[in-house]
Amino acid sequence: MKSKLLAVFVSVIGLCIVSSPIHAHHGSSVYDSKSLTTLKGTVTDFQFVNPHTELYFDVKDASGKIEKWAAEASSLTTMARFGWTRNILKPGDQITVEGNRAKNGSYTMRLHKVVLPSGKVTTLDRGEDYADQ
96 Cβ neighbours under 8 A, 6+ residues apart:
38, 39, 40, 41, 114, 115
**Distance of alpha carbon 104 from alpha carbon 55, whole angstroms:** 19
**Distance of alpha carbon 86 from alpha carbon 83, whole angstroms:** 10
The CATH superfamily holding the domain 31-123 is Nucleic acid-binding proteins (2.40.50.140)
Q: Which amino acid, residue 90?
A: K
Which pLDDT tens digit goes with each residue over 56-77? 999 999 999 999 999 999 888 8
Which pLDDT tens digit goes with each residue over 19-55? 444 444 456 678 988 999 999 999 999 999 888 899 9
27 Cβ neighbours under 8 A, 6+ residues apart:
none
Domain borders along the chain are 31-123
Contact 100, 106 (CB under 8 A): no
- pTM of the shown model: 0.73
Which residue intervals of 29-103 are DSSP H helices?
A: 76-81
Which residue intervals of the chain are DSSP H helices?
A: 2-18, 76-81
Kindly tell me the burial class for residue 125, based on how many C-beta atoms sit within 10 Å of its own C-beta (0-12, 13-18, 19 or more): exposed
